[in-house]
Amino acid sequence: MSELYGEVQKLKERYPDWHSATLPALQLAQEKHGHLSPEALRECADALGTTPAVCKAVASFYDLLHLAPVGRHMVEVCTNVSCALVGAQQVLEAFEGELGISAGETTPDGTVTLRPIECLGGCGWATIVSVDHHYRTHVKPDDVAGIVQELRDGD
Ligand code: FES
């Protein structure tokens, strides 16, 4: 039995219905594998007592769960209405230019994954950019080079 199996059994004990443990189990599997690879999905499914297809279907719905490898840093630019109105697209394009990748891609060195994302709940502080799940507010295209440099310096 894998280490994940034991941890998922403990998760299942917390809920009257094992289905409720699916999300935390997927998060655990992602922490251990880096992303939800077919192997990670299989391990998670075995531990939950379901199929990898069920796990994949659930995982595919949530932005925080990754079915493909991601970079060491995650940059997410909100492109929903409030952010779009103050130039989110230009911010996203500035990141694309600075990183040399398109939205949805990871830099070849595996440092940064860039992606557009729906409303992050910070509409009053648009444009919101989430950097490793920490929000940057009122981000303008001119701020992008500095943010990318911070990430490169931090590695
Ligand atoms: S629209 Fe960007 S945070 Fe809500």
Domain-located, residue 65: no
At 63-99, the pLDDT tens digits run 889 999 999 999 999 999 999 999 999 999 999 999 9
117 strand-pairing partners:
78
DSSP class of residue 20? G
107 C-alpha to center of ligand 1: Å?
25
Answer yes or no: is pLDDT of 155 > 80. Answer: no
**What is the CATH classification number for the domain harbouring 150?**
3.40.30.10
Domain-located, residue 67: no
DSSP class of residue 105? -
Burial pattern 98-133, b for ≥16 Cβ within 10 A else e, equals: bbebebeebbeeebbbbbbbeebebeebbbbbbbee
pLDDT greater at residue 143 or residue 153: 143
99 C-alpha to center of ligand 1: Å?
23
For position 2, what pLDDT does the model report? 78
123 C-alpha to center of ligand 1: Å?
4
**Are residues 84 and 145 part of one domain?**
yes
Give the separation between CA 40 and CA 120, rounded to whole angstroms: 28
**Are residues 46 and 93 part of one domain?**
no
Domain count of the chain? 2
**Are residues 49 and 7 part of one domain?**
yes
Ligand 1 shell residues, CB under 6 Å: 78, 80-83, 119-123, 126, 128
86 C-alpha to center of ligand 1: Å?
10
Instruction: Give the range of the structural domain holding residue 150, as residue numbers without chain letter.
Output: 73-154
CA 130 to chain centre: 10
**Are residues 141 and 77 part of one domain?**
yes
Give the separation between CA 60 and CA 47, rounded to whole angstroms: 19
Ligand 1 atom at minimum distance from 127 CA:
2
On whether the CB atoms of residues 50 and 12 are closer than 8 A, the answer is no
Answer yes or no: is pLDDT of 45 > 80. Answer: yes
Ligand 1 atom at minimum distance from 78 CA:
2
pTM to 2 decimals?
Answer: 0.82
